[in-house]
Chain A
Amino acid sequence: AQSVTQLDSHVSVSEGTPVLLRCNYSSSYSPSLFWYVQHPNKGLQLLLKYTSAATLVKGINGFEAEFKKSETSFHLTKPSAHMSDAAEYFCVVRPGAGSYQLTFGKGTKLSVIP
């Protein structure tokens, strides 16, 4: 079985400062990991994915995430927050071995203060 824990339900940063959204996972297999973003009243947009290649993954809009197997973590970072980054962020695990089911964390709401 797999699970995802997003360690913060709400993160608030000032515009122009770094963003860190934390995620820990558990999986019986070598997982694929994703970060999705959801703006109000919108569907989910893929930010980035890890699929057992490079451990540092670069995504859209300046976001990146590092896969650390020893820590079972996949934290999302961005060097400088922009007002448009304010949204809900979901860490997602998809176990390997042919599984198709995504398991979502409960989400982290990111607020950006001008």
Chain B
Amino acid sequence: ETGVTQSPTHLIKTRGQQVTLRCSSQSGHNTVSWYQQALGQGPQFIFQYYREEENGRGNFPPRFSGLQFPNYSSELNVNALELDDSALYLCASSSGVSYNSPLHFGNGTRLTVT
């Protein structure tokens, strides 16, 4: 069974640029969610995708957007990067949207904005 994989592992961008992060969900999982983990904090929910549709969003501005593809892989796009966007971005997958389904996390992408 292949776990959740994220790419790249590290990324450095300049303020104002745009970035795309990628996630391959665990085999058999059709739901993907994204979390932002600032240094020293717990992860915060950005949004979730189920069957290629966004079906939940946390308190993040519209410049954070995403996609889910037919193979259930996903992208997180961030436009107009700000210094505070520097964080570890975690992707998690699960099977279905039941609140009992545990999330399986990838190792994350460390984004640094200078």
Contact = CB atoms under 8 A, between A and B. Distances in A.
Interface of A: 4, 32, 34, 36, 41-46, 49, 51, 90, 94-107
Given A106-B41, A106-B42, 5 more contacts: A43-B107, A44-B90, A46-B104, A90-B43, A104-B35
A32 B100 contact: yes
A90 B88 CA distance: 15
A46 B102 contact: yes
* Prevailing SS type, chain A contact patch: loop
A78 B108 CA distance: 28
A107 B106 CA distance: 18
Contacts of A106: 40-42
B44 interface: yes
B20 interface: no
B105 A44 contact: yes
Contact of A49 (B35, B58, B102): B102
Interface string B93-112: 00001011011111110000
A90 B41 CA distance: 10
Contact of A103 (B33, B45, B48, B92): B45
Contact of A102 (B103, B106, B108): B103
Nearest to B33: A100
A22 B105 CA distance: 23
16 contacts: A4-B42, A36-B105, A41-B107, A44-B90, A49-B100, A90-B43, A100-B33, A100-B55, A101-B45, A102-B33, A104-B43, A104-B44, A105-B42, A106-B41, A106-B42, A107-B42
Interface string B59-101: 0000000000000000000000000000000101000010110
Contact of A94 (B41, B58, B90, B99): B99
